[in-house]
Amino acid sequence: MKTVDVICRQSPEFEILPKCWIVERTFGWWNQYRRLSKDYELLLEMSEFIIYTVMIRLMLKRLAKPLLITS
């Protein structure tokens, strides 16, 4: 199981925090899918299944993109 690192700001100025943008970008991708935009599911397993399905679809879409360009 992975752990979550809490990053505290050290200065009041703007600074880039590591890996925060990856999480925010992933949540943005999930919000494009209607069933993940709100918490519709009653079972946690169903929500987890939908997240896996969406991520598999996103990965397949990226893998197929180079094949379409070369054809």
Is residue 18 assigned to a domain? no
Structure-token pair, residue 36: 């993940």
In a domain, residue 22? The reply is: no
**31 in a domain, yes or no?**
no
Domain span including residue 57: 39-71
**Tens digits of per-residue pLDDT, 7-58?**
677 777 776 666 767 777 888 888 888 777 777 778 888 888 888 998 898 8
pTM for this model (two decimals): 0.56
The crossing angle, in degrees rounded to 10, of helices 20-30 and 44-70 is 90
How far, in Å, CA of 20 to CA of 28, rounded? Answer: 13
Number of domains present in the structure of the chain: 1
Concatenated DSSP letters of 16-61: PPTTHHHHHHHHHHHTTSHHHHTT--SSHHHHHHHHHHHHHHHHHH
